[in-house]
Amino acid sequence: MNLCEECKGKGYLQVGEKPCPNCSGSGKTESISLGEASASDMKELIERGSAKCAVCHGSGSIPVTESCEACCGLGREYLCLVCGTKLTTKKELCEKCSKKPLVHILDQACDTSDVVVGDIYQGKVNGLANFGAFVDLNDHVRGLAHNKYLKSKPEVGDTILVCVRNVAPNGNIELEPVELDEYNTLEVDKDLPVSKAGELEKQVGKLVSIKGEVIQVKQTGGPTIFTVADDSGLVFGAAFERAGVRAYAEIDSETMVRMIGEVTLRNGQVQIEIRSLKQLWGGEAARVKEQIEQAIDKRAEPSDPGFLVESDVMNRLKPAMLAVAKEIRRAVLKSRPIVIRHHADADGITAAVAIETAILPLIKEAGGPDSEYYNYRRAPSKAPFYELEDVTKDLSYALEDQTRHGQKMPLIVLMDNGSTEEDVPAMKQAQVYGLEMLVVDHHHPNEVVDQYLIGHVNPAHAGGDFGITTGMLATEIARMIYPEVESKIKHFPAVSAVGDRSEAPEATRYIKLVEDKFGLEDLKKMALALDYEAFWLRFNEGRGLINDILCLGRLDRHQKIVDLLCDQANGMIDEQLRATMGNVKSTKLPNGVIMNVLDVENFAHKFTFPPPGKTSGEVHDRLCKKFAGKPVVTIGYGPDFAVLRSRGVRMNIPQMVRELMVEIPNGGVSGGGHLVVGSIKFVGGMRKDVLAKLAEKIAACAVDEVIPIKQVEETAGHS
């Protein structure tokens, strides 16, 4: 029985105090019992003529108590074993239930030692012989009802009530059938101490009891596999009904249960062969749940290894980064599926793979060697935001896994997207189904997204900008999740910085950090290879290829594949530029900005690498060299979109988009991105109006003094 929560097992409550009658409230007494007095009491009595009162111990008052009404002064919660009514005495049955005979039903985990002579049990006739009937009390306990006790011969399969007359030393049970018109039933559970999942390796071959939460239910061609977590870890339990048939169909994921079975080793992994699996209810379920949550919360605490480089912005972001790391670790420890969504470019890929490399060892440790195949998925997004197409796929997979395998809904981690207003429609869908989301991004954030997130890391929240790439942030978060991963991913921030052309001081520091292993040209080639391969992979994660490009495998294969992909990418870029550069139209705006426009729909190869955004970027790079030292804006436009690249122009593309939406209400304008790099969508029929108004806004922007491109390259070469 559980201790009373009101009086904590004492049986009474203190309601006040009153003066001690022994010392009249003084706390001192002039006489003491010599047999009970301590040496200090005797000394105090001799020296001072008085000693501490033995009743109130010197306080001068004693507590006033009254019997605890919650437990009727018993100190524990006593419930009727049959109906669950709260009892006022230390009995097993209430007055009403005690008037009827009690019939016991043995749990499947019970054995002969749990059978009590004189008790009545419910059994099933398993077989007949000349001398009597064999009766199963459960699948493991069988007794014999001799002919001399049988008034009529039962049939195999009949349910009968039997009284246990004797249990022989060899385990034979003598039964006598009884007939009852009315009776109460009581399930008899195996009385075992509760074991911990994390300590079962020492108990192989023993019968154990585990209390925990069902994390996953997986139906195989044979047994049903239940993954159960307690406050020490996870354990797999196998229950067999029939081949391919769901055992314990009433038990689903997130159910608090008591599992009893024999500990075995299967393929080197601890597994419990389940004999009994029952749901916990009420206070017991709540207590087990609370213990698990407290333990997981403690184990989910991330490390704080310090950043790889100096960064004031990241120092201010550290609390948010640690919070995201903790949420990811918590999901791993609870065997909750994780989906990483990322922008399909060098920055997004390095960010996602950094987190992936950190969590895969933890997922395998927590859930077994094959857990990564059903507890983790990485998926690229073509757009730099969480599209409706993306969330539809994620929800479809999640709901299917929930139906087929009883999995929890996944944690969605958005990398290099998720901070803008464009993400909101997808986030609203995810919220309907209870998907929790984390965002690590460096696009200009809109506070409207925060209501849909449980964690959000963005340099703009700490006074930074897009120069601190997602790859930098994610690598540092990955080290918080799993510090041992540092040596594998140390170069990822530099690759992302080069791929996103970051000019932040942190970019130079990350590049310098790995210059002994990867030079600037090596980093540029990796970034280009990632962009090129991501184009052909489309919506496929391409883990093996991406790992080789990022040097997570064999060095010789890394060098060969990067060189090959860069040769192919550069060849296609050169071919694209031969077709496009002659069709670029350049105009000098009143504020000194050289604005270049290119119709990528009609003057660039379609459906091949480089895509419109990459093509516009490559054109912009060449024009920056041509107009060295001058502010430059390049617009690559199609039937219903425009891609913007700039240098030395103080634009705010998200703000421009909002203004265009108001000024051209029938233009269907949307889009965003970074402050000075981004894209805009519109309806095709309003293209001319949108582009004209966009040019006006660019002409009104302030400009910066631009460092000649040759000086920029020399600076990067020395970094």
User: Is there a single domain that holds both residue 552 and residue 436?
Assistant: yes
- 606 Cβ contact partners less than 8 Å away, ≥ 6 residues apart: none
Burial state string for 386-421 with b = 16 or more CB within 10 A and e = fewer than 16:
bbeebbebbbebbeebbeebbbbbbbbbbbbbbbbb
Looking at the chain, the whole-number percentage of residues with pLDDT higher than 70 is 91
Do both 344 and 423 map to the same domain?
Answer: yes
Given a cut of 80, is residue 393 above it in pLDDT?
yes
CATH of the domain at 469: 3.90.1640.30
What is the tally of structural domains in the chain? 4
In a domain, 378, yes or no: yes
Does residue 261 form part of some domain?
no
- Span 207-231, average pLDDT: 89
What does the pLDDT read at residue 42?
54
pLDDT at 448 over 70: yes
Residue 95 lies in a domain: no
Asked, for residue 52, whether it belongs to a domain, the answer is no
Q: How confident is the model at residue 50 (pLDDT cuts 50, 70, 90)?
A: low
Specify if 663 maps to a domain.
Answer: yes
Q: In whole angstroms, how far apart are CA 536 and each of 251, 496, 584? A: 44, 19, 27
- How many residues can be counted in the chain? 719
Give 295-304 pLDDT, tens digit per residue.
889 999 999 9
pLDDT tens per residue across span 140-186: 899 999 988 888 888 899 999 999 999 998 889 999 999 888 888 88
Average pLDDT, stretch 491-512? 94
pLDDT of residue 13: 81
pLDDT of 709 over the 50 cut: no
Q: Is the pLDDT of residue 14 over 60?
A: yes
Q: What is the CATH number of the domain that holds 182?
A: 2.40.50.140
Residue 331 pLDDT exceeds 90: yes
Report the pLDDT value the prediction gives residue 329, as an integer from 0 to 100.
Answer: 95
Query: Is residue 435 very low, low, confident or very high in pLDDT (cuts 50, 70, 90)?
Result: very high
What is the Cα–Cα distance from 459 to 502, expressed in whole angstroms? Answer: 13
pLDDT class of 218 with cuts at 50, 70, 90? confident
388 falls within a domain = yes
Distance (Å, whole) CA 548 – CA 545: 5
Asked if residue 509 has pLDDT above 70, the reply is yes
Return the DSSP state at 703: B
CA-based angle 243:248:251, to the nearest 5? Answer: 135
Q: Name the percent of the chain lying above pLDDT 90.
A: 57
Query: Does 229 share its domain with 322?
Result: no
For 399: left if phi > 0, alpha if psi spans -120 to 50, otherwise beta; the answer is: alpha
**In which band, very low, low, confident or very high, does the pLDDT at 71 lie, cut at 50, 70 and 90?**
low
Strand partners, 381: 343
Q: Is the pLDDT of residue 272 over 90?
A: yes
The whole-angstrom distance between residue 285's C-alpha and the CA centroid of its chain comes to 22
Q: Is the pLDDT of residue 252 over 50?
A: yes
Q: Crossing angle of helices 346-367/470-481, nearest 10°?
A: 10
- Look at residue 587 in the predicted model and tell me its pLDDT: 93
| Region 44-73 average pLDDT | 73
Distances (CA, A) of 634 to 584, 619, 653, 660, 702: 9, 8, 13, 19, 16
Same domain, 498 and 360: yes
Does the structure show a pLDDT above 80 at 310? Answer: yes
Q: In this structure, is residue 90 part of a structural domain?
A: no
Q: Same domain for 413 and 516?
A: yes
More confident residue, 684 or 234: 684
Q: Identify the pLDDT of residue 672.
A: 75
Q: Are residues 476 and 501 in the same domain?
A: yes
Domain boundary among 528, 561, 594: 561
What pTM value is reported for the model? 0.76
Is residue 107 located within the same domain as residue 230? no
Q: What is the rounded average pLDDT of the residues 286-311?
A: 92
Residues 320, 204 share a domain: no
| 598 and 656 part of one domain | yes
More confident residue, 461 or 59: 461
CA 121 to chain centre: 46
Q: What is the pLDDT of residue 713?
A: 40
Q: Is the pLDDT of residue 685 over 60?
A: yes
In the predicted structure, residue 614 carries a pLDDT above the cut 70: yes
User: In which domain, by residue range, is 287 found?
Assistant: 197-255+266-294
pLDDT at 38: 59
Model pLDDT, residue 48: 58
Q: pLDDT for 464-499, tens place per residue?
A: 988 999 999 999 999 999 999 999 999 999 999 999
Residue with the larger pLDDT of the pair 98 and 227: 227
Nearest to 328 by CA among 546, 552, 491, 480: 480
pLDDT digits (tens, 9 = 90+) for 346-372: 999 999 999 999 999 999 888 777 788
Mean pLDDT of 42-46: 56
Q: What is the mean pLDDT of the chain?
A: 88
The pLDDT assigned to 698 comes to: 94
Q: Are 273 and 150 members of one domain?
A: no
Same domain, 332 and 378: yes
Per-residue pLDDT for 79 more than 80? Answer: no
The per-residue pLDDT for 32 is 53
Domain membership flag for residue 459? yes
Same domain, yes or no: 119 and 207: no
